Structure 1
């Protein structure tokens, strides 16, 4: 038997007061609503969409013994802080380790993002990905991944410097797999050739790169300039300085930009020193900076997407509505049209408390039900 509920408030993206009807976990209607005089309607926003999640709250998609239950727990933990659409991200590893992780991913998520292993091997662009597992793109390996997870791989990040990249990109996109450019030191010509073949995204642009680059040309300028590429940005206050984030968002424009958390398993845990399989001894600060112990080098991202929305708003001088769009409708274009409050979409929405200093998620509704 169908059950319906109504949610009323002010749309944080448009400023309009609306009434949302939810039936069987989906939005069935959105209508104008007139609140009683003197009332201050609660702010409503779509649930956040994160296209790059390695882990959170101690759960690790790339753990050596990851199980389906752990992935489901990861999805629930992120829903509780406002991220209602999660794309688990499997990083560079042996083929056996990648397929093991893919098998563990719960069917409740839209797809899996495999970041690597077809990336650059040199220090800097490689990041913390293991050098001994970096390899050229291989369509046959992609097919084996899909066999292992019933076709759940929906995005692959690669460096287009590898020979045969264009053929791989064309084949992958023909199969419905999104191809992103990242962890690369590729030339502008190689970047544009990948876009010619069908690549449509840039993974955490501005990170996964050499510490020093030629002033021009370089792969950052090429990706910023290519209008066929939409770019993800880690707006955690540590991966991109405010001036850099602001300039890159302006260069790509809001229609080709989105935020990602790129969070790892230590995100959401108390500050302190930890030992991780990748990175060894690390320190998580109270400000959410995760670094190799005793060094200035980052060891991953440790903030959820809601915190990145608040940071982007502050660092890039964005309105609440513009910052939210970068974490809802914009990435939702690459997740089946999620991140919108329109009839027919999953009933994922947030109640938000907002003031000039803080933006706080106070309630999460996922698939029409409150998340406890």
Structure 2
């Protein structure tokens, strides 16, 4: 029942089984022609093998913010990498259960942003599974805070005000593939820019900001609907109240992404933020960089210089307590949230499937007729990661780590 090979006499038909994290029921998913054809649920132990009852089955994870993974960098200099870097990035993420990948291009010169966008287009043309996995691109910046703290590691030299003409050039370069933009709404022209992008069907997210609460509310009024890795990309010390974190937590028009790697947000902070925003308006992101999925050790990176990746997945500047990016998969984030105490495994899985999947155009479900993007995994209590058993993308079995 756990094979991803076609069933005898039924070419192109596959069945996968495991327990549903939301209900605990044994769930058998039948795949035909790359789509979910049937879902059967029964009490665990009433059907299937004992192995199936110990393995969970869920929609493939949806990550709306991925800078890199496993040595592949979506922001690599154009002279250093071609479309194969994006193909490698997506397939490396398949191996850890991520079946919807939103490459994230960060603040840079316009020429570099356009080069990265074109590289993603070429990767989607080269590989049908990559085309399926990438529904759109997220551009994080360059319209961010220029202040130390909120800016994060985005280069100050390339921070600039929002410009609809520049956005149009991005879209022209990538056949309209940009579907999400992160900005700080402190710029005077932010509401008009946000409104213009939303009219074009683009998701606008507030992030890396020092905006005043009224500017946050004005952004939401103009159509901004998301917050980028809320609680990070902020000043180390904030006024107790009011501030831009409270303003985003309080606004129900903004769904919020959170980095749940155990390092970016302390447990108490993450619990409080998820409760304040509500699970239906929250989702996990990895915000992973190229060193995510790499062995522990000391590395030298173009951004950040010498960094150390610990066995626990903390990426920090050597000799300092400061983080140098995220280095864990979104599946690890699921395990972390499920281990916090207040949230069930089913709720944690939904934060990486259903909620971000809705933002990605209807992914992250086990609905009949949906693309057969699935992950089977084991979870051990107290462990900060999941053990992926099987990954299927659009009905195609993918190698796992």
Residue 72 of structure 1 aligns with which residue? 87
Instruction: Assess if the C-alpha contact under 8 Å between 2:203 and 2:225 holds in 1.
Output: yes
Instruction: Return the match for 1:60 from 73, 77, 90.
Output: 73
Structure 2 CA distance for partners of 1:133 and 1:37, relative to 1, 3 Å: closer
Within the alignment, does 1:46 sit opposite 2:59 as a pair?
yes
Q: Is the 8 A contact 2:257 2:282 kept in 1?
A: yes
- Which secondary structure does the structure 1 equivalent of 2:381 belong to? coil
Match of 2:37 in 1: 28
Name the SS for the 1:333 alignment partner.
helix
Question: 5 Å matches for 1:198-209?
Answer: 198-209=223-234
* Structure-1 residue corresponding to 2:235: 210
Q: In structure 1, what is the equivalent of residue 297 of structure 2?
A: 272
Do 1:10 and 1:18's aligned partners in 2 also have CA atoms closer than 8 Å? yes
**Cα distance in 2, alignment partners of residues 38 and 18 from structure 1:** 12
User: What is the SS of the residue equivalent to 2:166?
Assistant: helix
Alpha carbons 2:229, 2:259 under 8 Å: kept: yes
In structure 2, the CA distance between the partners of 1:187 and 1:316, relative to structure 1 (3 Å rule), is farther
Q: 1: CA distance between counterparts of 2:289 and 2:41?
A: 40
Mapped to 2, the partners of 1:71 and 1:316 lie a distance apart of: 36
The farther-off stretch of 318-327 and 357-366 is: 357-366
Q: For the residues of structure 1 that align with 2:338 and 2:115, how far apart are their CA atoms?
A: 38
* Distance of 1:118 and 1:36 partners within structure 2: 54
Corresponding position of 1:306: 331
1:118-171 CA deviation, whole Å, 9 max, x = no partner?
000010000000000000001110000001111000000000000110000000
1:328 alignment partner in structure 2: 353
Q: Which residue of 2 aligns with 1:3?
A: 12
Q: Which runs of 5+ in 1 are unaligned?
A: none
> 1:191 is paired with a residue of what secondary structure?
helix
Please state whether the residue corresponding to 2:148 is helix, strand or coil: coil
Structure 1 residues 289 and 37: CA distance shift in structure 2, 3 A: closer
Whether the aligned pair in 2 keeps the contact of 1:13 and 1:45 (CA below 8 Å) is no
| Contact 1:50/1:83 (8 A) holds in 2 | yes
Match of 1:97 in 2: 112
Deviation at 1:29, TM superposition (A): 2.1
Shift of 1:293: 1.4
Query: What is aligned with 2:5?
Result: none
**In the alignment, what sits opposite 1:367?**
394
Between 1:127-136 and 1:277-286, the stretch displaced more is: 277-286
Greater than 4 Å deviation, 4+ residue runs:
none
Cα pair 1:246 1:316 within 8 Å, conserved: no
Shift of 1:33: 4.7
* SS class of match (1:332): helix
Q: How far off its partner does 1:297 sit?
A: 1.1
Q: Residues 227 and 252 of structure 1 are in contact (CA less than 8 Å); yes or no, is this contact kept in structure 2?
A: yes
Cα deviation, residue 53, structure 1: 0.2
Q: 2:364 aligns with which of 334, 339, 344?
A: 339
8 Å contact from structure 1 (residues 245, 316) kept in 2:
no
Q: What TM-score do you get using the length of structure 1 for normalisation? A: 0.97
Contact persistence 2:138–2:179 (CA under 8 A): yes
1:285 aligns with 2:285: no
Give the superposed CA RMSD.
1.5
Q: Distance in 2 between matches of 1:37 and 1:70?
A: 40
Secondary structure of the corresponding residue to residue 339 of structure 1:
coil
Alpha-carbon shift at residue 14 of structure 1 (Å):
2.5
Q: What secondary structure sits across from 1:180 in the alignment?
A: strand
Are 2:24 and 1:15 aligned?
A: yes
Greater alpha carbon shift after TM alignment, 357-366 vs 333-342:
357-366
Aligned partners of 1:63 and 1:111: how far apart in 2?
18
Distance 2:48 2:16 in 1: 18
| Matching of residue 260 in structure 1 with residue 269 in structure 2 | no
- Structure 2 length-normalised TM: 0.90
Contact conserved, 2:26 with 2:47, CA < 8 A, in 1?
A: no
